[in-house]
Structure 1
Amino acid sequence: MKVACLTGGGDCPGLNAVIRGLVRTIHNAGGQTIGLLEGWRGAIEGNFIELDPMKTDEILPVGGTILGSSRTNPYKEPGLAEEVVKTFKKLDLDCLVAIGGDDTLGVASKLYSDFNLPTIGCPKTIDNDLSSTDFTFGFDTCLNTVQDAVDKLRTTAESHRRVMVVEVMGRHAGWITCFAGIACSADAILVPEEEVDLDAVCQRLKDRRAAGKTYGIVMVSEGAKLKGDEFITKDAEVDDFGHVSLGGIGKRVAKLIEEKTGIETRDVTLGHLQRGGSPSAYDRVLGTRLGIHAARLANNGDFGKMVALRGLHIVAVPLEEAVGTMRTLYPEFMDEAREFLT
């Protein structure tokens, strides 16, 4: 068995844990693993490195991905998908394991259905918004990074009697914002799933100020929208999968809060900070387990599947069912958070 793996889309802590688990399990079964560089670009161009247990043994605590990543889409231009198939045959591969989010795994699913290319998916997204899996690796580390940042912002906010608006990742789903907001005892949590009522937020901040709280913390997803607004974007450019680069909602919310309340307000965008750093223990274990089970699917010739966390168990689900449906924040989490947002 000769298996190739790649990491596509935005990086996150835990990717190297998946690679390590995959390589070790393939090796234990007598197989060989290579790593395609920079996501689907490496699959198109045939750029790769050899992987073995010794080369990957020390990468567990390292953030990011040793293979590099990109948002290259083989289906953006005619003929690119065929180049992936050619690379697969040229390298004499038996299976390709794609580690990524909805876009990356969507390509893996199409290659399996269009060309019968033996692919296996491993779910990765910092936003935790992939369907068919309970949690994705990287999410836990991200939450801890956000929590640490907000804990630091709280001290300066209290010192200067300010409201701090913290913009975090979350294009269509508010998992990071809601969970971090609960963990950081935020005064307001603004998520894409709910239209933002800024007047209510401002009234809450004024009421708490009157009750004696001298500062405020407002958490907002990059994909949250004010009433009547569209997404706030950094620019109009789109990536290979048609996504615009979001950013700026935090600054707008901060400006409006200051205007409506008269309270000095500052905004902080955590941005790519949320993707960085060494993975948490939870993400190291989850990434390792997913890598092991992806390798076992490859060894068993069970292609066209994605490994997923269901409860405490790793299961296999059809790739076509795992992509294309966004898993937004479950309403009960915001309902629980509202006990502290009154």
Structure 2
Amino acid sequence: MKEHKRIGILTSGGDCAGLNAAIRAAVYRAVGTYGWEVLGIRQATHGLMSRPPNVINLNIEKVEPILTQGGTMLGTTNKGDPFAFPMSDGSVQDRSSEIIEGYRLLQLDALIGIGGDGSLAILRKLAQQGNLNLVGIPKTIDNDVGSTELSIGYHTAATIATEAIDRLHFTAASHSRVMIVEVMGRDAGHIALRSGIAGGADVILIPEIPYSLEKICDQIQERQKQGKNYCLIVVAEAVRTESGDALTTKDFHGESRLRGIGQYLADKIAACSGAETRVTVLGHVQRGGTPTMTDRVIGSAFGVAAVDLIAEEKYDRMVIWHNREVDSVPIAEAIAQYRAIDPNDILVKTARSMGICLGN
């Protein structure tokens, strides 16, 4: 085993709180324990496409103050699949060989990639093609990466959503309104379910459980009969219309984004219940801010474990949180399927037992 190693680390996909904690811990372990060199790669794989590669040398002094900072000190991107990279003339080009060449130019012995299932799938494909030594760290506010009970960013996002729901209780009661809070959740409803329970929501809608507008309106009217003049509804952005249509909008670059389920529900609920209805879309607020204690601890544990996997030369693996411990699994196994909410999950049962309507 090579005693001195030069490793790279990058963050890919959407940003979230806790990424800097993972970077910091990886540097502490690699530099402080093993005496290795660590290069931070800027803007994910785009940094490896640049010539010279866009990197920064990371030492303990440089990363020491970043623990409490949101986002990622390295920058990130969720655009530009390197196997079909959009060019300025409108064409697409396979630029994967440039990324592999960038890894070689930096003379890296291994790469730590921090990303969600999409980013890790791309990084693994690059690693397989170029025979690169890759270790993965899961991050996504949706908490839907397979095999791990927690991903970096989720706890902070759910905490921010809970705080927003807490604040809306008072204005909803003051104006006798139905307040709808639309939270992130591209495929899974983890944020909506947990923040809804923690925030005392009356209705929680998640993509894993079909709903009926009639049931929702019944819940609102039942509360009105009980003298409760307001209602809080939490909905994940991936929830579809009652007929099963996904609500999306195209951005400037022509990419489809989930958007609109909150307003759709507001219009329907106002019509069927007569209640004054307002919508709050939290959006990227959930990605920002100071990471919670949990995301700092999980990020730190993952950063250390990823470096240890490199020390043991155990590549093509992703670190995971399981049974209150850090472990690792093959990346292919981890991203084979996303982690949705089981309709029989204990938290689903908890919500129902507390009188929360899940739409069915």
Give TM-score, length-normalised by structure 2.
0.91
Structure 1 residue corresponding to 2:161, chosen from 125, 129, 146: 146
Structure 1 residue corresponding to 2:291, chosen from 261, 271, 279: 279
Structure 1 residue corresponding to 2:276, chosen from 253, 264, 272: 264
List per-residue Cα deviations over 1:235-294 (Å, max 9, x = no partner).
27778xxx7311110011011111110010000100000011111111101100000000
Match of 1:42 in 2: 47
Match of 1:210 in 2: 225
1:128 equivalenced with 2:143 (yes/no): yes
- Distance in 2 of aligned mates of 1:268 and 1:13: 21
**Letter aligned with residue 34 of structure 1:** L
- Distance in 1 of aligned mates of 2:322 and 2:163: 28
Match of 2:83 in 1: 75
Match of 2:196 in 1: 181
**Letter aligned with residue 2 of structure 1:** R
When residues 58 and 9 of structure 1 are mapped into structure 2, their CA distance, relative to the original with a 3 A threshold, is same
Structure 2 residue corresponding to 1:89, chosen from 90, 95, 104: 104
1:30 equivalenced with 2:35 (yes/no): yes
1:338 equivalenced with 2:338 (yes/no): no
Give TM-score, length-normalised by structure 1.
0.96
Match of 1:54 in 2: 61
User: Pairwise mapping of residues 183-332 of structure 1 onto structure 2 (< 5 A)?
Assistant: 183-235=198-250, 244-331=256-343, 332=345
1:21 equivalenced with 2:25 (yes/no): yes
- Distance in 1 of aligned mates of 2:199 and 2:6: 46
Q: CA deviation at 1:73?
A: 2.0
Matched residue of 1:17: which SS? helix
- RMSD of aligned residue pairs (Cα, Å): 1.4
Matched residue of 2:223: which SS? helix
Structure 2 residue corresponding to 1:104, chosen from 119, 123, 148: 119
List per-residue Cα deviations over 1:76-112 (Å, max 9, x = no partner).
2443111111001101110111001011111122122
- Distance in 1 of aligned mates of 2:242 and 2:180: 18
* Moved beyond 4 Å, runs of 4+: 236-239
Contact 2:186–2:237 (CA under 8 A) maintained in structure 1: yes
List per-residue Cα deviations over 1:205-226 (Å, max 9, x = no partner).
1111111111100000000012
Contact 1:40–1:73 (CA under 8 A) maintained in structure 2: no
- Distance in 2 of aligned mates of 1:230 and 1:4: 42
Matched residue of 1:167: which SS? strand
Identity %: 37
When residues 237 and 113 of structure 1 are mapped into structure 2, their CA distance, relative to the original with a 3 A threshold, is farther
**Letter aligned with residue 207 of structure 1:** E
When residues 237 and 231 of structure 1 are mapped into structure 2, their CA distance, relative to the original with a 3 A threshold, is farther
- Distance in 2 of aligned mates of 1:54 and 1:185: 43
Q: How many residues align?
A: 339
Q: CA deviation at 1:229?
A: 3.0
List per-residue Cα deviations over 1:91-141 (Å, max 9, x = no partner).
111011100101111112212222221111000000000001011121111
List per-residue Cα deviations over 1:15-38 (Å, max 9, x = no partner).
000000111111020101011111
**Greater mean deviation of Cα atoms: 88-97 or 71-80:** 71-80
Contact 1:124–1:138 (CA under 8 A) maintained in structure 2: yes
